A = this chain, B = another copy of it.
Amino acid sequence: MSSLQGEPKGSPSAFKPPYQTIRWRASKFSVLDQRQLPLKKTYMELPDIKTACLAIKTLAVRGAPLIGIVAAFAVAHAARKHATHKKLLQAIDQLSQTRPTAVNLFVCLNHMREIVEQDGSPVQIVRQALDILEIEETRSYAMAAHGQKLIAKEMKVGTYCNTGALAAPGLGTALGILIKAHLSGKKIEVVVPETRPLLQGARLTAWELSQYKIPYRLVTESALAGIVGELDAVFVGADRIAANGDTANKVGTFGLAIFCRQFGVPFYVVAPTSTIDSNLSEGSQIPIEERSPDEVLSFGSCRTAPAKSKVYNPAFDVTPSDFITAIVTEKGIARPPYNWTGEK
């Protein structure tokens, strides 16, 4: 039975986050419900594929690497509950239709499909999910280590959306670099944009930074142009990176990159190689999810705009590679021109 639970390795315990994003227990699989943060720290059980799909679609779990991991564990959980191979393949199809932009979801599900199609046993299928988690954790710590070359003592840095342990295994991606810098005594200060419409910066990044006691200032996106010039560097994550380095990330990233160019501030993208889609030559080929107008028309239970307003609400935007100073992966720091054609 222990091989159906497993325990990921490779995470230097000194840097382990003080909260668990995924709980993989003897018979239960649950995730920290990020919609409730920072007000409540509650776990949402994902007993079946339908609930797992809902959790991903409604952003109870989000972050490109994390949704890949959660999808893999949803398949593993179904396998250990003796789903047939046919059901498992259906599950993989359902999970792959939850969100279109982050490529990690498809990469992880393809790994799961391979083991299912090889008639893998429940133990082997669970092992596959645990292996994926372990690899992504190791990548997170490697990115955090490489990124230290880009961050000096007492730097004032910016970030965007949420890219910590709530978004990716280990320490996360971009935020992992900042967390490691702080834990190494670099005394950084972070500027956190709230990230409309769903406020992942205000709700999640501010919360994660407060868990580590990292000093930060929260700002609206409307205040960014006035503050980017004070920053030494900006670190963001990615949902999909094309072969030429064009990067899809949370909507607002491109605007932040334009401000960085305007004020001469280095703009770094941080993502594991599982976020690179070498099949796409450039960013215009990345499918961009458009989400419900309700996210913009109302706030919680309070409507904030005329109900019939037409809304444009893309969840992501694409930052052209020439706005990106460097891309940090687990392999090191890549600088332009980027060329990941045929990488995988």
| Chain A contacts to B: CB under 8 angstroms | 38-39, 191, 193-197, 199, 202-203, 206-207, 210, 215-227, 250-252, 254-255, 258-259, 262, 296-297, 299-300, 302-306, 308-314, 317
Shortest beta-carbon distance from A160 to chain B in Å: 9
Nearest chain B CB to A226 CB, angstrom units: 5
| Known contacts A206-B306, A305-B202: A312-B223 contact under CB 8 Å | yes
Across the interface, do B202 and A313 meet the contact criterion of CB distance under 8 Å? Answer: no
Q: Which residues of B contact A308 (CB under 8 A)?
A: 210
Does more than half of chain A's interface fall in helix, strand or loop, or is it mixed? mixed
User: In the assembled complex, how far is the CB of residue A240 from the closest CB belonging to chain B, in whole angstroms?
Assistant: 15
Q: Cβ of A259: which chain B residues have Cβ within 8 Å of it? A: 255, 258
Q: How many copies does the complex hold?
A: 2
* Apart from the given pairs A206-B305, A217-B312, A220-B296, 17 other A-B contacts in the complex at a CB distance below 8 Å: A194-B296, A194-B304, A202-B305, A202-B309, A206-B309, A215-B310, A216-B310, A217-B310, A218-B310, A220-B221, A221-B221, A222-B250, A222-B255, A227-B312, A255-B255, A258-B262, A299-B300
Instruction: Decide if A299 touches B297 in the complex (CB within 8 Å).
Output: no
Question: Are A251 and B227 within 8 A (Cβ)?
Answer: no
- CB-based contact A296/B218 at 8 Å: yes
- Measured CB to CB, the nearest residue on chain B to A226 is B317
Tell me if A309 and B195 are in contact (CB < 8 A).
Answer: no
Verify A219–B255 contact, CB threshold 8 A.
Answer: no
Q: How far is the CA of A216 from the CA of B219 in the complex (A)?
A: 27
Interface centre among A218, A220, A313 (most CB of B within 10 A): A220
Chain B residues, Cβ within 8 Å of A215: 310
Residues of B within 8 A of A197 (CB): 220, 222
- Is B299 in contact with A299, judged by CB distance below 8 angstroms? yes
A196 near B218: Cβ-Cβ < 8 Å: no
Rounded to whole Å, the gap between the CB of A262 and the closest CB of chain B is 5
Q: Kindly provide the distance from the CB of A103 to the nearest chain B CB, expressed in whole angstroms.
A: 20
Enumerate 14 A-B pairs (CB-CB under 8 Å) in ascending A order. Answer: A191-B312, A196-B196, A197-B220, A202-B309, A210-B308, A216-B309, A217-B309, A219-B296, A219-B312, A223-B312, A225-B254, A225-B258, A255-B259, A262-B262
A302 touches B299 (CB 8 A): yes
Judge whether A207 and B314 touch: CB under 8 Å: no
**Distance in Å: Cβ of A263 to nearest Cβ of chain B:** 9
Give the residues in chain B near A227, CB-CB below 8 Å. Answer: 312
Which of A199, A222, A254, A297 is most buried by chain B, counting CB atoms within 10 A of its CB?
A: A222
Which of B226, B255, B302 has a CB less than 8 Å from the CB of A225? B255
A246 nearest CB across to chain B (Å): 13
Residue numbers in B under 8 Å from A223 (CB-CB): 251-252, 312-314, 317
| Assembly CA distance A303 to B199 (angstroms) | 11
